[in-house]
Amino acid sequence: GGFGVDSGSASAAAAAPGRTRQDVREVSAVGFVGMLFAAKKVVIVPGYGLAVARCQQKLAEIVALLRKHNVIVHFAIHPVAGRMPGHMNVLLAEADIPYDIVKEMEDINADMSSYDVGIVVGANDIVNPATQDDPTSPIYGMPAIEI
């Protein structure tokens, strides 16, 4: 389960009709680095946890390194990610993330399948599939990034 979802609801949400389920694999730090550099396209979904940890500068360094190695990197931004609407855009701008790689949720959701690697940094509710397919969830009906 997860916050606001009991184990029965989580199973139902994962198997909901109309949703494709992708495998999630745990990897070591070294394996993760290898995945990033082997990818052609990477999408990063930052959330409130990124803001709290204040790690946008380190994330910007990783993005710069990937781009230097010709990896296409985009950020998928939820309208309310961070502490208030627009907060994530400000944090990324402060870290000198190029504005042209920052994509709004409604512009990037349809393209998610084109990415080789997806990274969720400090986000939970804004990527939770229960928002779309679990009517018992307290966050049901909220738009989510479909990673």
Residues noted as catalytic: 125
User: Do the beta carbons of residue 114 and residue 42 sit within 8 Å?
Assistant: no
Q: How is residue 115 written in tokens? A: 């990415």
| C-alpha distances out from residue 5 to 11, 16, 141, Å | 10, 15, 14
Cross-strand bridge partners of residue 123: none
Q: How is residue 88 written in tokens? A: 């994530």
User: Do the beta carbons of residue 125 and residue 4 sit within 8 Å?
Assistant: no
| C-alpha distances out from residue 72 to 24, 26, 76, 77, 144, Å | 21, 23, 13, 16, 23
Rounded CA gap, 9 and 127, in Å?
Answer: 16
* Overall size of the chain counted in residues: 147
